Structure 1
Amino acid sequence: MAHVPEEPKRYVCTNCQITHAGTPIHASASEHSFEPPESCGGCGESSFVALTDWVHHHD
């Protein structure tokens, strides 16, 4: 069976809207879950929304 790479979950900074790849967390030997970064690399804020929820997010 061919290996299919996982697509990382992406998060959007609610302050400056820069998109970040989630930090991989080992769920099992072959799967990961993803968490938002601790802070935005662009503005330093720590509030993120999953990219899939971005269109529904309102401040």
Structure 2
Amino acid sequence: MAHVPESVELFVCESCQVTHAGTPIHVEAGQHTFEAPDACGSCGEADFVELSDWVHYHD
């Protein structure tokens, strides 16, 4: 069986819309979850939306 690489979850800053790669959190052998960063590297805000939810996001 071929190895299938995990896809990194992306997060969009609600304030400036810069996209960040999630931080991988090891949950079990070969499995990870991803968390948004503590703060946006561009504007410093701390509110993020998962990229997959961005099209459904409303203020």
Under a length normalisation based on structure 1, what TM-score does the superposition of the two structures give?
A: 0.94
Percent identity of paired positions between Structure 1 and Structure 2: 63
Task: Could you tell me which runs of 5 or more consecutive residues in structure 2 were left unpaired when the two chains were aligned.
Answer: none
Give the residue type in structure 2 aligned to 1:48.
Answer: F
1:3-58 superposed Cα distances (whole Å, 9 cap, x missing partner): 22110110000000000010000011111000100000110000000001001111
Give the residue type in structure 2 aligned to 1:49.
Answer: V
Distance across 2 between alignment mates of 1:26 and 1:35: 11
Task: Could you tell me which runs of 5 or more consecutive residues in structure 1 were left unpaired when the two chains were aligned.
Answer: none
Under a length normalisation based on structure 2, what TM-score does the superposition of the two structures give?
A: 0.94
CA RMSD of aligned residues (A): 0.7
Runs of 4+ in structure 1 deviating by more than 2 angstroms, as ranges, are none
